[in-house]
C-alpha cells in the first residue's frame, strides 16, 4: 500500500484508517504524514462527525448533515465517496474551492443514503431532492462575518 500511495493524487479514507496507517491519534498530524507518502489531496471521513479535506495549503472541515434518525449507516462512506467523485468528474476541477463543494456533495448524498435501508435512500433520488438537501446543508453551515 505504501508503494501505491506514492502514485495517488486524491485519497479518501476514514479516521480509523488514517490513525492506523500513521500511528497518530491527531488527524491533522496523521494527514500531514499521509500526504508525505504521496497524495496531494486527502479526505478523512469522520462518520457522523463529517469530513476533513486537506490540501498542501489548506484544511477544510465539513460537518455531517444532522439527522434525527439514521435508519441504516451501511454504505454511507461509499455514498459519500460517490457523491464527492461524481462532482469532481462532472466539473473536472481540482481547485480547493471545488474540492470543498465536492465534500459537501458527498456529505449530502451520504445523508440521503442513511435515511432508508440499503440503497433505498438513493435508488430513486431526483436531482431536485439532492439539490434541496444541498440547499438545506448550505443554510446549516452559513454564517455572516461581522467586523469587530
* Regions of the chain where pLDDT drops below 50: none
The pLDDT value recorded for residue 72 is 78
Question: What residues are paired with 10 via a beta bridge?
Answer: 41
The pLDDT value recorded for residue 94 is 96
Q: 148 lies in a domain?
A: no
The pLDDT value recorded for residue 146 is 82
Q: 129 lies in a domain?
A: yes
Q: 136 lies in a domain?
A: yes
Residues 6+ apart with CB under 8 A from 96: 55, 57, 58, 60
Q: Are 8 and 39 in contact (CB under 8 A)?
A: yes
Domain enclosing residue 136, as ranges: 2-141
**Residues annotated catalytic, as ranges:** 78
Which CATH number do you get for residue 97? 3.40.1190.20
Tell me the C-alpha distance between 19 and 27, whole Å: 7
The pLDDT value recorded for residue 143 is 81
Give me the number of domains the chain comprises.
1
The pLDDT value recorded for residue 12 is 97
CA angle 71, 76, 80 (to 5 degrees): 140
Kind and range of the H or E element at 32?
A: helix 27-36
The pLDDT value recorded for residue 68 is 83
> What pTM value is reported for the model?
0.91
Amino acid at each position: 500500500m505504501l508503494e501505491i500511495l506514492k502514485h495517488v493524487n486524491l485519497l479518501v479514507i476514514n479516521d480509523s484508517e488514517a490513525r492506523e496507517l500513521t500511528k497518530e491519534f491527531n488527524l491533522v498530524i496523521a494527514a500531514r504524514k499521509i500526504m508525505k507518502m504521496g497524495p496531494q489531496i486527502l479526505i478523512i471521513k469522520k462518520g457522523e462527525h463529517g469530513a476533513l479535506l486537506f490540501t498542501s495549503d489548506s484544511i477544510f472541515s465539513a460537518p455531517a448533515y444532522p439527522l434525527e434518525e439514521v435508519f441504516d449507516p451501511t454504505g454511507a462512506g461509499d455514498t459519500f465517496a460517490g457523491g464527492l467523485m461524481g462532482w469532481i468528474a462532472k466539473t473536472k476541477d481540482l481547485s480547493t474551492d471545488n474540492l470543498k463543494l465536492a465534500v459537501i456533495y458527498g456529505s449530502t448524498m451520504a445523508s440521503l443514503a442513511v435515511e432508508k435501508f440499503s440503497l433505498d435512500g438513493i435508488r430513486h433520488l431526483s436531482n431536485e431532492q439532492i439539490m434541496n438537501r444541498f440547499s438545506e446543508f448550505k443554510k446549516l453551515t452559513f454564517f455572516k462575518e461581522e467586523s469587530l
